[in-house]
Amino acid sequence: MQVIVAPDSFKGSISAVGAVKAMERGIKKVYPEARVVTVPIADGGEGTVEALIMATKGQYFHETVVGPLGDTVSAVWGLLGDGKTAIIEMAAASGLTLVPKGKLNPAITTTYGTGQLIKAALDQGIQRLIIGIGGSATNDGGMGMLQALGIRFLDETGQDLPAGGLALAGLTRIDLTAADKRLSKVEIIVACDVDNPLCGPQGASFVYGPQKGADQALVVRLDQALAHFANIAYQVTGKDAAAIPGAGAAGGLGAAFLWFTKATLQPGIKVVLDAVGFDELVVESDLIITGEGCTDAQTANGKAPVGVAKYAKKYQKPVICISGGWQDGAETLNLQGIDALFSTVPRPMKLEECMADSARFIEFCTQQVCQVLKIGSKIDY
């Protein structure tokens, strides 16, 4: 018997890598001879690099880059096992978690460090770049990233704009003369799981600006600055990207990739599953076990377990989802390719207690799921 274990991280308690190890231990206690294929997954946000490096036996690279507030931070990116594909999480260099709550300010935060990570990957001679753009602290339309890659953003006096989304209001000209030519020679896939346009009520500033520290007045100014940027970018590139779904992801980073590279925006879970060759693994397997921290109706909207189920159901493979807990709407997932749902919580307890012992609970739950499957195989219907 071959079993794929392909969970997302259980946010705040255990990584996807930790979860697959716990699930594997549970399976082996019931089916010691089973072949367990461990595929930790992510949807393009936190944990994507770790998941893909483990799944493809790749390697990590550590860089010192400019953080969202202009200070230096240590960031990690990965090279997949094929030796040709780089994987970057923009949040590693420009993420919300890198900014203390009292200093959140999308008017000044920058994506410059993300550009530095891309440059480091290009220096390794990569042919393909996958970049997850969830969890940003920025609203600069990707200006900082592009500056790190040689593109200049100039004001009316010919001076380079300072960092931050609000500075875009003073943009007069974009100079592509020194742009890194390698950008046009590599395939770029952007893992993006939101469909917001760049501007307007559903755009980057209005929807995500408040969680990055913007009050209502600043939200309006940031939106106007991005709209101004969009007009000039269209004049320079001839691409009308601002209204494309996903352009507003990561404070407009999605739009930057669409304007100034040949990137495609794809659902994060699809990017990850394609990168690990999930189709091929499913064909040879008898059972798929997935999971996440909390399963509810939102899981159906492109989250990892349903993404896994969609691949599995192409080959009519059974899928079990093991989660930290489930809430109203989880039952709809039985119509989305997930055959059964299980919770790891063994008894009434505080959330902190559950999260602190998540590996043991995941292992035990997986073991019991396998015990049920073993019983079922002996019943004569």
User: Could you read off the pLDDT of 132-190 as tens digits, one per residue?
Assistant: 998 899 999 999 999 999 999 999 999 999 999 999 999 999 999 999 999 999 999 99
For residues 215 and 361, state if they share a domain.
no
For residues 112 and 190, state if they share a domain.
yes
**Is 381 within the bounds of a domain?**
no
Distance, in Å, from the CA atom of 94 to the CA atom of 183, rounded to the nearest integer, reads: 20
pLDDT value of position 302: 65
User: How many domains does the chain contain in total?
Assistant: 2
Among 269, 301, 319, which residue terminates a domain? Answer: 269
315-344: pLDDT as tens digits = 999 999 999 888 777 788 888 899 999 999
Sheet holding 85-89, edge to edge: 59-66, 72-79, 85-89, 128-132, 187-191, 264-266
Q: Residue 300 corresponds to which tokens in the numbers above? A: 């159906």
Could you state, in chain order, the average pLDDT of each consecutive group of 10 residues for the chain (381 residues)? Answer: 94 89 97 95 83 90 98 97 96 95 95 98 97 94 98 97 98 97 95 90 96 96 98 97 95 97 92 90 96 79 84 95 84 87 88 87 96 89 70
Residue 125 is which amino acid? Answer: G
Among 236, 269, 302, which residue terminates a domain? Answer: 269
Domain region containing 75:
48-269
For residues 288 and 317, state if they share a domain.
yes
pLDDT value of position 43: 78
pLDDT value of position 298: 67
For residues 26 and 56, state if they share a domain.
no
pLDDT value of position 301: 64
For residues 230 and 301, state if they share a domain.
no
Residues paired with residue 265 on neighbouring β-strands, in sequence order: 190
CATH code of 115's domain: 3.90.1510.10
pLDDT value of position 59: 96
pLDDT value of position 288: 97
For residues 134 and 222, state if they share a domain.
yes
Which positions ≥6 away from 247 have C-beta within 8 Å?
Answer: 196, 197, 198, 241, 254, 255, 258
Residue 105, Ramachandran bin (φ over 0: left; ψ between -120 and 50: alpha; else beta): beta
For residues 188 and 313, state if they share a domain.
no
Q: What's the Rg (C-alpha) of the chain?
A: 22
What is the DSSP-derived secondary structure letter of residue 209? T
Among 269, 298, 333, which residue terminates a domain? Answer: 269
For residues 236 and 305, state if they share a domain.
no
Say what the pTM is. Answer: 0.85
